[in-house]
Amino acid sequence: MNVKAAVLLCALASAPALAKGSDKMRHDDVKVAKGQTLSGDVVTSGAILVEGTVEGNCVSFGGRVDVPGEVRGDVVAMGGSVDITGSSKGDLAAIGGSVHVSGKVGGDVAAIGGDVALDKGAAVDGDVSVIGGHLSKEDGVEVKGSVSQVGLGALRGLLPALTRGGLNLALASHGGSGFRSHWKRDAWRQDDEDSAPSAGGRLFKAGVFLIFVVGLGMVLCLTALLLPAETAAVATAIRQDFWRSAGVGTLMVILFLPGLLVLAVSILGIPLIPLAILAWCAAALFAVAAFSRVLAERAAESLQKPLPSTPLAVGLGWLILETLPLVGKVIGGFIGGTLTFAGFLLLTCGLVAGLGAVWNTRMGRRIS
């Protein structure tokens, strides 16, 4: 199995469960006791323990999945580990978590960003693929398909730098100084007066940030003005099932770089890279607009006021979203850095959930 197949496996394995209605999504730990048979899929943001039988798929967003019993469908964990000591008749996929198999898997096994351990007694009828992790396989383990391991060693030094750079850039746009200056300098070197910016400098950076907020806010309002119904549909999807949207959005973020790598190794895929980046950025813009509308809806409900039109609601929500970093920049110091970072986290959560809602509603053209 090549890189493309492994990535597609992780996406497709979760698709059957995600395609179900939002009423299937749970937000607690799920346990199927020994001797119990559960019909249908299990989709939750908590952990899953199957000691009995599940006649469907098991999908966890952020929790671990343990199967000492039997799952007659696929097993997917996003941000959690998977332990199969019993049996799974379908595929097994883990994104950002490890996989441990000492039982039987009737389909493929794939892991992105985690290790795979096939212990004595394990049997896999399909392929085994590991991307960015380590594969360990004991003697006597039966794998009927191919076994492949793709290391991302060349990216290990690049990804942390990109992460730090992206975080600093995002925080700089939300406050002007970035993560390092707020948290390292102000938290650990408060006694160094030379490192503290002047009041005039803070106001100047706050003004630059305000221009950024107004400019991007106008773009978001224009998006809502041109696509009001679609923006409202995406916002509704976020409110109806936030965790489902967040899970799908997390998957989109995680698979973005591997997807570009897949296109980069294909002659036909290289010309599609700019289009893929453009589409992802457009979806991100749409996602932030929809999340801003959700914040405006919450504010209107709290104040018991009618919700304005979609473009105005998006503008109001964007203003609410950027209040924390703006105040943080004006205040400065450790408290200002804390407010800025809190605003960054809120924006990140909204972006991820919005991306998932954009996918679930097909850019707002159908109800999730």
C-alpha to C-alpha distances, 30 to 33, 47, 193, 298, nearest whole angstrom: 10, 6, 53, 30
What does the DSSP assignment read for 272-285? HHHHHHHHHHHHHH
**Residue 360 parent element (H or E):** helix 333-360
Residues 237-260 as b/e (b if ≥16 CB within 10 A, e otherwise) read: bbebbbbbbbbbbbbbbbbeebbe
Residue-wise pLDDT tens digits, 253-305: 888 888 887 777 666 777 788 888 888 888 989 899 999 999 988 888 888 88
- pTM comes to 0.46
Other Cβ atoms within 10 Å of 185 Cβ, number: 19
Residue range 340-358, pLDDT digits in tens: 788 888 888 889 999 999 9
Sign of the CA dihedral running 164, 168, 170, 171: positive
Q: pLDDT tens-digit profile of 130-162?
A: 877 789 999 889 899 888 876 654 434 443 444
Strand partners, 26: 44
